[in-house]
């Protein structure tokens, strides 16, 4: 992990959705740095705001009903939130690219793979078609699609799920972006295919010096395999940030500890699994004070009244809990 100036800085990001005359605060003040060369994970359950955070970075929040109401996203000395639509198009795909969860629905079924994979270089680098095709063959081969030149003429339905996810990765990487945002890239895949895709992402990351990955997932095991640092989100807020060794070795937030404890492990066979009580509240029903207080086993009156701040307890290890020191 390099300790230079971060590649991307997210500062106090707020994103809201207007739903049925109510305001749903999906992200309520998120700040973090993405350093050059690192893989940063964001882990959270549905409704935690992890996907909305990643979509906000690329300004892909549908507006209306969504709106980024506050904050800065600094990349290369510019605030992405202040750029015009055209300037933002220059960034997307070229500087910051994204792979989505659903390889089945994220590719357009009526265009060939050639059309979809070459589009970013035709648009951003003004390559001619011949060179663009050469680049597409190169990048499709790099992601492990056999016989790439012939398969350019194929349509998405002719590929399996794992192969489509490879095509998505090829599409995202063809302009050699500095940042790759991967939103649940392996969730829809079988575990043996997931292993292929994770290995591929690691290999490509190693080859592209200084480039970073922001990996969004609900699966702590994937985080443990892939990431240098990890952010735990709940209720639209960062609850804990740390290196993966901090987080897995010395989790500070009760929510993080609950998540880790609820993973079935071999030594617990035959015993009860730990379960975090209750359900993730609907976005309108999160408590005031600490977002997790309605499910926390260590809740005290202060938690319901006063929202905790994100505090740095050890270097680079931050937690949003009033009682983190006493509980650990």
Partner 1 sequence: MSTPILELKDCEVHFPVYGGILRHKVATVKAVDGVSLDIHEGETLGLVGESGSGKTTVGRAVINLLRATSPDVHLGGQILYRTREGRQIDLNGLSRREMRPLRAEIQMVFQDPFSSLNPRMTVEQIVSGPIKLHMDLDRNARRNRVHELLEKVGLQSSYASRYPHEFSGGQRQRIGLARALSTNPRIVIADEPVSALDVSVQAQVVNLMEDLQDEFGLTYLFIAHDIGIVYHVSDRIAVMYLGNVVEFGTAEEVFRTSKHPYTRALLSAVPEPDPDGKRPDRIVLEGDIPTPLAKPSGCGFRTRCPIARPECAAARPNFETFSDSHFAACPYTETLNEKGTPHVEPRV
Residues at the interface with partner 1 (CB under 8 A): 45-46, 160-163, 190-196, 198-199, 218-222, 224-225, 244-245, 248-249, 258-260, 262-266, 268-269, 272-277, 279-280, 282, 295
Token couple for 290: 């600490």
Q: How many residues does the chain have?
A: 328
Rounded to the nearest whole angstrom, what is the least distance from the CB of residue 146 to partner 1 in the complex? Answer: 9
CB closer to partner 1, 120 vs 162: 162
* Helix, strand, coil share (%) of the chain residues, nearest 5: 35, 25, 40
Rounded to the nearest whole angstrom, what is the least distance from the CB of residue 158 to partner 1 in the complex? Answer: 12
Rounded to the nearest whole angstrom, what is the least distance from the CB of residue 260 to partner 1 in the complex? Answer: 7
CB closer to partner 1, 45 vs 131: 45
CB closer to partner 1, 23 vs 198: 198
Rounded to the nearest whole angstrom, what is the least distance from the CB of residue 200 to partner 1 in the complex? Answer: 9
CB closer to partner 1, 110 vs 275: 275
For the chain, the first-to-last Cα distance in angstroms comes to 27
Q: Fill in the DSSP letter of residue 190.
A: -
Question: Which has the closest alpha carbon to 227: 210, 208, 242?
Answer: 242
Do residues 6 and 75 make contact, with C-beta atoms less than 8 angstroms apart?
no
Rounded to the nearest whole angstrom, what is the least distance from the CB of residue 156 to partner 1 in the complex? Answer: 15
CB closer to partner 1, 71 vs 251: 251
Compute the distance between CA of residue 9 and CA of residue 31 in angstroms, rounded to an integer.
Answer: 7
Compute the distance between CA of residue 324 and CA of residue 285 in angstroms, rounded to an integer.
Answer: 24
């Amino acid at each position: 992990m390099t300790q230079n100036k971060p590649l991307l800085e997210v500062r106090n990001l707020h994103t809201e959705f207007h739903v049925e005359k109510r305001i749903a605060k999906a992200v309520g003040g998120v700040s973090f740095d993405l350093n050059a060369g690192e893989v940063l994970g964001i882990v959270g359950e549905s409704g935690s705001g992890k996907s909305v955070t990643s979509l906000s970075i690329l300004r892909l929040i549908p507006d209306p009903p969504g709106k980024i109401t506050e904050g800065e996203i600094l990349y290369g000395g510019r605030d992405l939130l202040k750029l015009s639509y055209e300037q933002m198009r220059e960034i997307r795909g070229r500087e910051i690219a994204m792979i989505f969860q659903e390889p089945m629905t994220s590719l357009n079924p009526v265009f060939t793979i050639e059309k979809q994979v070459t589009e970013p270089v035709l648009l951003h680098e003004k390559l001619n078609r011949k060179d663009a095709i050469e680049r597409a063959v190169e990048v499709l081969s790099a992601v492990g699609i056999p016989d790439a030149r012939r398969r350019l003429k194929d349509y998405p339905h002719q590929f399996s799920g794992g192969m489509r996810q490879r095509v998505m990765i090829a599409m995202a990487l063809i302009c050699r972006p500095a940042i790759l945002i991967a939103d649940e890239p392996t969730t829809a895949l079988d575990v043996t295919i997931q292993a292929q895709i994770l290995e591929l992402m690691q290999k490509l990351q190693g080859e592209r010096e200084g480039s970073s990955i922001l990996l969004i997932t609900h699966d702590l095991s994937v985080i443990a395999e892939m990431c240098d640092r990890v952010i735990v989100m709940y209720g639209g807020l960062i609850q804990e940030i740390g290196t993966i060794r901090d987080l897995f070795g010395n989790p500070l937030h009760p929510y993080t500890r609950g998540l880790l404890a609820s993973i079935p492990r071999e030594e617990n066979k035959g015993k009860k699994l730990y379960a975090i009580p209750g359900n993730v509240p609907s976005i309108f029903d999160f408590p005031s004070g600490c977002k997790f207080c309605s499910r926390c086993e260590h809740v005290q009156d202060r938690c319901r009244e006063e929202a905790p701040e994100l505090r740095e307890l050890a270097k680079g290890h931050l937690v949003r809990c009033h009682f983190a020191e006493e509980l650990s």
